[in-house]
Amino acid sequence: MPDQKLKIEVEGSGKISAVRSEPSKRGKWTFVYAPGAGSNINDPFGAFATRELTARGVTVVRFQFPYMEAGKSGPDRPAILEATWRAVMDAVREPRRKLVVGGRSMGGRIASQAVVQGAQADALALFAYPLHPPGNPAKMRTEHLPALKLPALFVSGTSDSFGAPDEIKAAAKMVKGSKVHFLEGADHGFAVKKASGRTKDDVFAEAVDVFVDWLLALK
């Protein structure tokens, strides 16, 4: 089915772009995905995941934040980012369908904050969660994690400068019932060294496979 281009109103920030991709045969899940701080609606991992997920019956909605819509380089204030997540979730939620929200890096982090603030979702997927700024583990972004009360998946590379494996494991333990998967040798962008014998698409595929298996196991 062709992608459906959407415009979603964010209070105080105008309209942002979103794309809804439907599988030929719909399952019970809709995945709402946001990119990292430096990317937009055409985020490579989001596009890859969309192709793979729709082939497996998952509806995918991708969107970009107001600053990207306006062509600005720096992210919006947290309140605007969180309001954007709430607006998108409200716009795409459907009766009798389950909603999993998340994304890469900042996109997933803001989704988790919006959920803690009361936005309704059934599950949370955090790809390359930016646990702290590179080289600055004193600034952990974990304060809200214990308040998450829904199934959560953390997928991170073992060479991610935003969170070492031990740090990610410790953060995930703050979320009851969460699952963690590490992508061997992958950095924050899920790239791997050539000597590994793998490509970035190989790593993308592993991340999506883990995500699908996790979704299928959820009730």
The domain locations on the chain are 4-217
DSSP characters over 27-39: -SEEEEEE--TT-
Dihedral pair phi/psi, residue 190, rounded to 5°? 70, 20
Burial 159-181 (b: 16+ CB within 10 A, else e): bbebbbeebbeebbeebeebbbb
The amino acid at residue 214 is W
In whole angstroms, what is the distance from residue 148 CA to residue 136 CA?
A: 24
The amino acid at residue 112 is S
Instruction: Specify whether domain 4-217 bears CATH 3.40.50.1820.
Output: yes
Contact 110, 81 (CB under 8 A): yes
Contact 53, 208 (CB under 8 A): yes
In whole angstroms, what is the distance from residue 9 CA to residue 88 CA?
A: 8
Tens of pLDDT, residue by residue, the chain (219 residues) = 689 999 999 999 999 999 999 999 989 999 999 999 999 999 999 999 999 999 999 999 999 999 999 999 899 999 999 999 999 999 999 998 999 999 999 999 999 999 999 999 999 999 999 999 999 999 999 999 999 999 999 999 999 999 999 999 999 999 999 999 999 999 999 999 999 999 999 999 999 999 999 999 997
